[in-house]
Structure 1
Amino acid sequence: MTTIGRCSMAAFGLIMTTAACGSSDTPGAGTELPRIDRAPTPENEFTPVELETTVDNLIIKVNEGTVEPMQMVVLLKNLTPFFASIATGASRAMGELEVTGNVLGPTDQSSDTTTSQDIQNQQIRQAVADGVEGIGIAPYGDINGAAMDEAVAEGIPVVTLDGDVPTSKRSLYVGTINKSAGATAGKTLLAMLPPPPGTVIIHGNLGTSWADGYNRTLGAWQVIEAAGYTPLVSEAVFHEDETFDVDSIKSRIEAADPPVIGIVGLFNVSYRCVMGADAAGIPDVPIVAFDFDPKTVEYMREGRIKATHTQRQYYQGYLVPYILYGIKTIGLDGTKEILAPLMDADADSTVNTGIDTVPFDKIDAYDDFLATIGVIQ
């Protein structure tokens, strides 16, 4: 696996080699390792008990057989705070499993997406050439499908996380189910609203080319409309200059009929909903958000954002090495049987890590939870 590190460092940056880092440290094939024995996660009101229990059950099943050495790699889009939490989880799991492997990603998101996609495809192929036995990947999309399928054709299981390529031959997807996540955010806001009629602004995405954003928006739209309110989407703009985004929210609020009585933001820039509401002269409108951006937290502490919804990216990273190891030792079907409590009812290849709903008065409790798993979001 050292070749992967050398190949990727110059172009992409390297985070953490785990456990045995070179081939000379790797036990020979068929060598039985000590039983897997992970330290329990301290309990907190935000601890995902079902998820933690599922990992424990997978370890129990794996320990019934021969625990063998393994090489794997986890490839991320970047190492910004969102993906840094994934890297922490993946590295911890790989250390507990005592596998040989790397977690790789650039320290900065390249402005040239095509170049980043090409490099990720190169990393997949290099990992295959280096004899990797499992690949976890946060893919850019269909552009990675061919390289992923090449790995599968070589007998190497591939598990996606954060984003998915469902048309590929990957074994499983691990992450947020965006339609249900959007519905959850919508329901959080509904509990704060007066009876209909009224318009609810959704800071979301209606472009079907970004399936995750579209599905999250659709989930919120459907629960809001079903409750008798009028949903109105303000398309999120992720440019660093917030002006256009804020002006768009303001114009939607001013044009709404009936008047706006609530706002739900569905992405990490959800804090801009507060700015848009202020610009439109409705500072007291209930607002709920998504993710845990520092500006979102600041507005929560001021009581301006009533709740946010965070993806469990640490657990996405943490699960993937255990799943890859499970596929190697007890097979895909055996692994899926253990993962059944987390599997999406509508997709038998999707592992739902869920989301956390964090009220504005629970920020400190959530920070305490993050401290127990050693991440910052």
Structure 2
Amino acid sequence: MKRTAIIYTLLLASFVFVFAFAIYFYNQVQSYDAKIKKNADTSSPSAYHFALIGEEMDHVYWRLVGEGAKEKEGEYDVFVEYEGPKRSNPEEQLKLLDMAVKSKVDGIIVQALNDKFTPLINQAVDQGIPVMTVDTDAPESRRVAYIGTDNYEAGRLAGETLVKDTKGKATVGIITGRFANAHHQLRIEGFKDVLKQTDGIEIVAVEESNIDRIGAEEQAYKMLREHPDITAFYGTSTLDGGGITAAAEKLNRLDDLYVITFDLSDENAQLLQNGAIDALVEQQPYQMGSRSVEIMMDIIKGKPVEEIHHTDATIIRKPDLLYQKSQAGETS
């Protein structure tokens, strides 16, 4: 009898506990729902919605472009929807551009890698959506403005630097991101135009890395095996420098090669400090993103804007890197 009473007591206690917990859980859910509703009622969407379509989300350069644009959101009451392929893929970029047009965003900022972007840019403009190009221009389209490096002049700058540093005597291999990408074409064109004026310099091979570090390494390795007389390399994208130096190290050629490439990424900065890379063409991706939002706001408000906005390109060598570190309070 006592045992039955104990069982009933335990069952009753369990029921009371479960019932009390159910009431507590219900009240917590109701409180959470009320908070969500309150936030939804009190929050207001941004006044403007811009689409920023970059080349590659996982690329340090494009992360900086995105960060620069997002930094302006609060100042201009704008939401910047930053999208791009995980890896460089022009066809995927075109799909994102098409989606932005169909979503009827207030403005589009896009890297226009080739001629296929022109019809979609024009379609957006026809629908009343202003378009800017960033990093790579589409001058034949009806985009309102372009912001980015003057890639032809950046190529000339790289060429002038190589001529100066090698004293006009070099056999050169070029690794470019993609043959089809307009900004890489311009970087090669400017570079070649300078080297044509120097009798002691010859370009013996040009290959593409597909904007991939391993691709750059494979192409540089192949070049060095086929052209053992190469004394200098020019890389037109951020990842080319790491690939070139990796290939040179495998062939024990690191100490006798001159290497110039683009962008002060963490890896390139380390290679520059170690002497594996001799010079970098530094761009301003953060400024590109930041200024693109400012310019797009001027366009939307009907203010006059210049068609071309060039950001600076400069040469960085090891002493410049050490100076930057000292300015930031770091020890070299």
Specify the TM-score bucket, using the shorter chain as the normaliser.
Answer: 0.7 to 0.9
Using the TM superposition, give the Cα deviation of residue 220 of structure 1 relative to its aligned residue in structure 2, in angstroms.
1.0
Query: Which of 244, 256, 265 is equivalent to 1:273?
Result: 244
1:161 aligns with 2:134: yes
Q: Which residue of 1 aligns with 2:75?
A: 96
Using the TM superposition, give the Cα deviation of residue 109 of structure 1 relative to its aligned residue in structure 2, in angstroms.
2.7
| Distance change (3 Å), C-alpha of 1:140 and 1:221 | closer
Q: Which residue of 2 aligns with 1:136?
A: 109
Segment of structure 1 superposing worse, 239-248 or 311-320: 239-248
Query: Which of 349, 352, 365 is equivalent to 2:310?
Result: 352
Q: Which residue of 1 aligns with 2:96?
A: 119
Q: Which residue of 2 aligns with 1:200?
A: 172
Using the TM superposition, give the Cα deviation of residue 313 of structure 1 relative to its aligned residue in structure 2, in angstroms.
0.8
8 Å Cα contact 1:159-1:173 kept in structure 2: yes
1:87, 1:370 → 2: CA distance?
24
8 Å Cα contact 1:312-1:355 kept in structure 2: yes
1:292, 1:240 → 2: CA distance?
15
SS at match of 2:160: helix
1:22, 1:72 → 2: CA distance?
23
Q: Which residue of 1 aligns with 2:232?
A: 262
1:171 aligns with 2:144: yes
2:147, 2:197 → 1: CA distance?
29
8 Å Cα contact 2:101-2:124 kept in structure 1: yes
Using the TM superposition, give the Cα deviation of residue 323 of structure 1 relative to its aligned residue in structure 2, in angstroms.
0.6
1:91-139 deviation line (CA, Å, top 9, x unaligned)? 1123222x232232157237x753453233112321x1xxx33221224
Of all paired residues, the percent bearing the same amino acid is 19
Larger RCO: 1 or 2 (CA < 8 Å, sep 6+): 1
Q: Which residue of 1 aligns with 2:65?
A: 86
Segment of structure 1 superposing worse, 261-270 or 180-189: 261-270
Could you list the runs of 5+ residues in structure 1 that have no partner in the other structure? 1-20, 28-68, 337-348, 372-377
TM-score between both structures, scaled by the size of structure 1: 0.66
| Distance change (3 Å), C-alpha of 1:245 and 1:73 | same
1:105 aligns with 2:75: no
1:299 aligns with 2:277: no
Using the TM superposition, give the Cα deviation of residue 251 of structure 1 relative to its aligned residue in structure 2, in angstroms.
3.2
Could you list the runs of 5+ residues in structure 2 that have no partner in the other structure? 1-39
Using the TM superposition, give the Cα deviation of residue 79 of structure 1 relative to its aligned residue in structure 2, in angstroms.
2.2
2:41, 2:135 → 1: CA distance?
28
| Distance change (3 Å), C-alpha of 1:240 and 1:211 | same
Using the TM superposition, give the Cα deviation of residue 312 of structure 1 relative to its aligned residue in structure 2, in angstroms.
1.0
| Distance change (3 Å), C-alpha of 1:106 and 1:210 | closer
2:55, 2:123 → 1: CA distance?
20
1:285 aligns with 2:257: yes
| Distance change (3 Å), C-alpha of 1:160 and 1:293 | same
8 Å Cα contact 1:315-1:353 kept in structure 2: yes
8 Å Cα contact 1:358-1:366 kept in structure 2: no
2:62, 2:284 → 1: CA distance?
11
Q: Which residue of 2 aligns with 1:14?
A: none
Which structure features the higher share of helix residues?
Answer: 2
1:134, 1:168 → 2: CA distance?
16
2:328, 2:98 → 1: CA distance?
32
| Distance change (3 Å), C-alpha of 1:78 and 1:241 | closer
1:304-329 deviation line (CA, Å, top 9, x unaligned)? 21221122111110111111111233
